Amino acid sequence: MKMQVLFSDIAKSGNHYEILDDSWLDAKELPRISPVEARISLVCQGESKVAVQGSLKTVIELVCDRCVNKFGYPVDVNFQLIVEVASDENWQVKELECTTTDLDTVVLAEPVVDLGDILRQQLYLMLPEKKICAKRCKGLCAHCGADLNNDACCCVADVKDSPFAVLAQLNKE
């Protein structure tokens, strides 16, 4: 499938794409557990501006930041944005003023919409800041490295190593 669309190739009624091919994202970068389902509509809003509306659905494989186990993370996002070609006359003013509409605007150097790039950006925007497999994930033992979700740790906590040991001694007195 052609992943780059020239502004001039967009019909007056708009172009609609159903993307089931996941070649736009390297499998090593973000492995997928389920196939990608994406839909994108492009509608011209003048010679240098295109409205993009779409959805993206898949399940990607992430590694938990606490227990280092792999888990499936569902992605189901609807998005809307504007892509426009930068004009020489107002680029300096736009850097000084930013409205909420500007946050959903992608400025391009040339009049070509890269569908793969848009999908990649939307997927990365959906990734959690902290990747946790479950709300109750206990993580790994700091001493022996045991997965506390599966095994009970045999390590004995040494109170003297704790930064709060001094406070515990004060409490006893």
3-state helix, strand, coil in the chain (%, to 5): 20, 35, 45
Mean of pLDDT values over 89-104: 58
* Phi/psi at 98 (5° precision): -135, 120
Q: Residue 93 above 60 pLDDT? A: no
Query: Average model confidence (pLDDT) for the chain?
Result: 83
- CB of 42 within 8 A of CB of 85? no
Band of the pLDDT at 151, cuts 50, 70, 90?
confident
Q: Residue 161 above 70 pLDDT? A: no
**Distance (Å, whole) CA 22 – CA 32:** 9
Band of the pLDDT at 103, cuts 50, 70, 90?
low
Q: Which residues on adjacent β-strands are paired with residue 43? A: 51
Mean of pLDDT values over 104-125: 85
Cα 70 from chain centre: 17
Mean of pLDDT values over 111-117: 89
pTM of the complete model = 0.75
DSSP per-residue letters across 108-123 = ESSSEEEHHHHHHHHH
Q: Which residues on adjacent β-strands are paired with residue 83? A: 50, 106
